[in-house]
Structure 1
């Protein structure tokens, strides 16, 4: 797993684009990024597809699972090699979670790209 696993919505073009940005930031390949539609992925982090459909999930090397804005901050900590994102989150977490929830609820309205599961259908359950 490396330093962490990010589980995202592979049928969402905005989510796929966001994961592309995260991969570009992850120059050292510290994070594995997989769609929750891939068989066994939700269970591998101790949750289910319904939970994953609601918010991005993160599981760090320590086994702790986070979701939503907390997950994004853990991802940013890992790819940047600093604790700055999670330090800012401790102060602004409530606001970040509200913004995350709004974006997640309206993600189909944001620019995206071909969703991961359309580009990699063999990796995603139908």
Structure 2
């Protein structure tokens, strides 16, 4: 599964590191949307990628909390998160929590942003650096 995230966001980068540790079978591939090839490769607009994290697996295209559930399922090799997300009583609070985190991302602890640590993976030509996770 491919995960498109904001490489300029320290919190997003910290989450990527955590997910890499959970993903012991290397089922996830992470792509900062600032990579000049990422948006075209996954048919995303800049606004799509800037507004939410994306999980893409073939024809399945998920964003926001649904993407997080799919990524967690893939990382740990379960279907628990995705199954729970199917219930509106679970999905609604998860979406609300996701939106809260996204709105407060700059106040949350993070790591050195991916694009700072791996400048070869990112392009300075991509406008905007809002965190998407």
Compute the displacement of 1:58 (Å).
0.7
| Alignment deviations for residues 79-116 of structure 1 (CA, whole Å, 9 cap, x no partner) | 11111000111121111111101101110000001000
Q: Secondary structure at the match of 1:33?
A: strand
Partner residue, 1:78: 74
Number of residue-to-residue matches in the alignment: 122
**Structure 1 residue 17 and structure 2 residue 18: aligned?**
no
What is the Cα-based RMSD across aligned positions, in Å? Answer: 0.9
Q: Aligned equivalents of 2:78 and 2:120: distance in 1? A: 35
Q: Give the TM-score normalised by the residue count of structure 1.
A: 0.93
Partner residue, 1:47: 44
Compute the displacement of 1:63 (Å).
2.1
- Pick from 103, 116, 119: which aligns with 1:118? 116
Higher relative contact order (CA 8 A, sep 6+): 2
Q: Secondary structure at the match of 1:51?
A: helix
Q: Aligned equivalents of 2:76 and 2:112: distance in 1? A: 27
Query: Structure 1: which 5+ residue stretches go unaligned?
Result: none
Q: Give the TM-score normalised by the residue count of structure 2.
A: 0.88
User: Structure 1: which 4+ aligned runs deviate by more than 2 Å?
Assistant: none
- Pick from 2, 22, 29: which aligns with 1:5? 2
